[in-house]
Amino acid sequence: MTTIDHDVQTETPFVPSFDTPSEEGRKLAIICSKGTLDMAYPGLILGNAALGEGIETHLFFTFWGFDMINKKTQSSLKATLLGNTAMHMPQGLGGIPGMTHLATSQLKKAIAELDIPEVPDFLDQIVASGGHLWACRLSADMNHLTEADLRDDVEGIISASDFIEMTAGAQLLFI
Amino acid sequence: MPSTTIAGRQINVNDEGFLLDPDDWTEDLGAEFARLIGVEMTEDHWKLVRYLRQDYKAQGETPTLRRVSTQTGMPVKQLFTLFPGKPAKKMAYVAGVPKPKGCV
């Protein structure tokens, strides 16, 4: 911090340091591996925040996370009670027809009330902010998907080693 | 409380250098803030700055980048072009309001 003698009038104006050298070249890579609505958001929120701080940000979608960038599924991610004890409801309820739909619409409503965009819009915003989207080669092959099935702004389907190479020196988040 | 002299005026700022009292702000001060952080003000910049001040006054908090974009109709990409690097913080600084607290 730089405040020590700013109580006295100084010649040089005291201005926020928006481009601190320690953050130069900081890079963040987020691995999005989940396809449920609730678990799609952490990566989106953190990625978006990082971009707002001027940090180079890459999102890598793998396994179930593929649903976030698959044109067919990106708008219909769901939240479920099943296997999620943090919903604090009897697990048996989760199996009742309609419960997943109910949990999903509740969550969507809560998210919309906070003016947080839906997943496709959120990815639009991330790309507009300079974020990079990548798809996992193995997940694409397993699901017989090609670039044509994915959002147009996905920059490529890349292998695990490509990803490791590309994120040299980056901070990593696995979600 | 730190104070500093900008545009010939002594002003109170917080420990990051943001203007402490938004009511101390004038357009001259905003223009000088912008110059000091390397932003060349155009009509689009001023439009955003005025929106930020008006929304801060109405809501009691600084709008997030998403809110700025949806409310002004200016695309996010353009916000990053006008205030490169850290657009939300930079425009808040120029507008003399606190940096935004919201997550999205």
Q: Is residue A51 part of a domain?
A: yes
B60: left (phi over 0), alpha (psi -120 to 50) or beta: left
Distance from CA of A88 to the nearest CA of B (A): 26
Structural domain boundaries enclosing A47? 26-80+118-174
**Residues of chain A neighbouring B89 (CB-CB closer than 8 A):** 16, 18
Placement of tokens 């490169």 in the chain: B84
Q: Is residue A156 part of a domain?
A: yes
Q: Is residue A143 part of a domain?
A: yes
Average pLDDT over residues A39-49: 96
Residues A60-90 pLDDT 10s: 999 999 999 999 999 999 999 888 888 888 8
The percent helix, strand, coil of chain A (3-state, each to 5) is 40, 15, 40
Q: Is residue A109 part of a domain?
A: no
Structural domains counted in chain A: 1
Residues A117-138 pLDDT 10s: 999 999 999 999 999 999 999 9
The tens place of each residue's pLDDT in chain B, 104 residues long, gives: 788 888 888 999 999 999 999 999 999 999 999 999 999 999 999 999 999 999 999 999 999 999 999 999 999 999 999 999 999 999 999 999 999 998 88
Contact A16 B89 (CB under 8 A): yes
Q: What is the ipTM of this complex?
A: 0.89
CB-based contact A32:A40 (threshold 8 Å): yes
Interface test with A, best of B12, B67, B86 (most A CBs within 10 A): B86
Q: Is residue A71 part of a domain?
A: yes
Placement of tokens 């939300």 in the chain: B88
CB-based contact B62:B53 (threshold 8 Å): no
Domain harbouring A153, CATH code: 3.40.1260.10
CB-based contact A134:A155 (threshold 8 Å): yes
